[in-house]
Amino acid sequence: MLSERQKMILRMIVEDYVQSAEPVGSRSISKQGDTGLSAATIRNEMADLEEQGYLEQPHTSAGRVPSQQGYRYYVDHLLQLGERLRPEEISKMKALFSERVDEIEKVAQQTALYLSTFTQYTAVVLGPQVYENTLRSLQMVPINEHSAVLLVVTSTGQVQNKTVSFPEDIPLSQVEKLVRFLNEKLVGTPVYQMRSRIFEEISHEVARQMRDFEEAQRILDQLLAVISAEKDGKLFLGGTTNMLLQPEFHNVEKAKSVLSWLEHHDLVSRALMQESKARGPLSVRIGGENELSTLQDCSLVTATYQIGGDPVGVIGIIGPTRMEYGRVIGMLDYLSKEMSHLVTKWYSG
């Protein structure tokens, strides 16, 4: 258990170190205004804090650095979520969300950009992924005799498309008939039920109507591929190279490992999705708390945005464990709420 004084000292150390990126000595804490304590006293407390695992010493005769546990305690107990956001930042963000929005993806992209420029860390935004989405319309536009573009439009206006081709011996009219049939049967079906409904109810019926069972299957498969592509929410990154601004990533090896990971959007998406499921609407993963080995030296802070309580997307920040948790959390909190409003309005018409 930490005394009030220890808490204060721990907070000061964390905040000092986050700014300076250099080990914090007892003197600089002692001198820092309000504490009427001498360096020696601070030293004693620091030794205590170190013994309890909240601080670390890079080497004897260096100052102290917060340990992972130290950051954790700071985030859990010492963070005052007072408005750390600067007014001009708030007004910029307000502007972003008050603009006429006609593409949710633009907003996601912009959010990532703002987040990253304001924080100087790397921002990730996982686009909304609405499972309650239903099929609005299935359209086919023929391109030539044996291929066509298949369009899937969902109730929220998201569009997926894929060019499919079918063998010469199947006439276009046949395929058109199939699409009409699917439309009749499937419009209004939630996207996440699509797969099972196709298999259980539609598949055999289609086969009966079409001469060639295998071909019907193939076309259905392609259709499914279009729909499942929809399932992965789109990922937007902002300020990827901000990683390189942080002294802890001046080591090119480390930088490369994180940056390459960020190149694999599928992996990042998965990690974010998992995060939003495992933890609540706001999650802070510090260093080793991350399961991915790539992120051992990073902190990942994420917030979900929701429609009526249902999380549909994630926004987050990736940076060094030495992170301005207050600002980051504040900003994510603010933006995730704005995003929630926006998508709620958007998806309810």
Q: Are 91 and 211 in contact (CB under 8 A)?
A: no
Length of the chain: 349
Residues 111, 119, 129, 155: which binds a second copy (CB under 8 A)? 155
In the complex, the smallest distance separating the C-beta of residue 242 from a second copy, rounded to whole angstroms, is 9
In the three-class reduction of DSSP (H, G, I as helix; E, B as strand; rest coil), residue 342 is classed as helix
Residues 6, 161, 183, 217: which binds a second copy (CB under 8 A)? 161
Residue 236 phi, psi dihedral angles, 5° rounding? -120, 135
Task: Provide the token pair at 115.
Answer: 């987040």
Among a second copy, DNA, none, the one that 289 touches (CB under a kind-dependent 5 to 8 A) is none
Q: Is 162 in the site for a second copy (CB under 8 A)?
A: yes
Q: Is 176 in the site for a second copy (CB under 8 A)?
A: no
Q: Are 54 and 47 in contact (CB under 8 A)?
A: no
Site residues for DNA, window 12-51 (CB under 7 A)?
Answer: 23-28, 36-41, 43-44, 46-47, 50
Q: Is 159 in the site for a second copy (CB under 8 A)?
A: yes
Q: Is 137 in the site for a second copy (CB under 8 A)?
A: yes
Q: Could you tell me where the DSSP H helices lie in 124-212?
A: 172-186, 191-197, 203-209
Among a second copy, DNA, none, the one that 23 touches (CB under a kind-dependent 5 to 8 A) is DNA
Residues 8, 79, 179, 255: which binds a second copy (CB under 8 A)? 255
d(CA 210, CA 222): 16
Q: Is 265 in the site for a second copy (CB under 8 A)?
A: no
Q: DSSP states of 11-69 as a string?
A: HHHHHHHHHH-SPBPHHHHHHSTT----HHHHHHHHHHHHHTTSEE-SSTTS-BEE-HH
Site residues for DNA, window 61-90 (CB under 7 A)?
Answer: 61-64
Task: Provide the token pair at 2.
Answer: 């930490």
Among a second copy, DNA, none, the one that 165 touches (CB under a kind-dependent 5 to 8 A) is a second copy
The smaller minimum CB distance to a second copy, of residues 47 and 259, is found at 259
Q: Are 124 and 243 in contact (CB under 8 A)?
A: no
Strand partners, 65: 56
The smaller minimum CB distance to a second copy, of residues 194 and 284, is found at 194
Residues 20, 38, 44, 260: which binds a second copy (CB under 8 A)? 260
Amino acid at 31: K
In the complex, the smallest distance separating the C-beta of residue 31 from a second copy, rounded to whole angstroms, is 33
Residue with tokens 């080497």: 59
Q: Is 322 in the site for DNA (CB under 7 A)?
A: no
In the complex, the smallest distance separating the C-beta of residue 333 from DNA, rounded to whole angstroms, is 34
Among DNA, a second copy, none, the one that 320 touches (CB under a kind-dependent 5 to 8 A) is none
Considering only the stretches 34-42, 174-182, 252-260, 331-339, report the one whose residues sit in contact with a second copy under the rule CB under 8 A: 252-260
The smaller minimum CB distance to a second copy, of residues 6 and 117, is found at 117
Cβ-based neighbours of 154, under 8 Å, separated by 6 or more: 130, 133, 134, 135, 136, 191, 230
Cα–Cα nearest to 158, from 194, 131, 123: 131
Q: Are 106 and 236 in contact (CB under 8 A)?
A: no
d(CA 43, CA 143): 76
In the complex, the smallest distance separating the C-beta of residue 18 from a second copy, rounded to whole angstroms, is 20
Interacting residues toward a second copy by CB under 8 A: 102-103, 136-137, 139, 141, 143-145, 147, 149, 151, 153, 155-157, 159, 161-165, 222, 240-241, 244-245, 249-250, 252, 255-256, 259-260, 263, 349
Interacting residues toward DNA by CB under 7 A: 23-28, 36-41, 43-44, 46-47, 50, 57-64
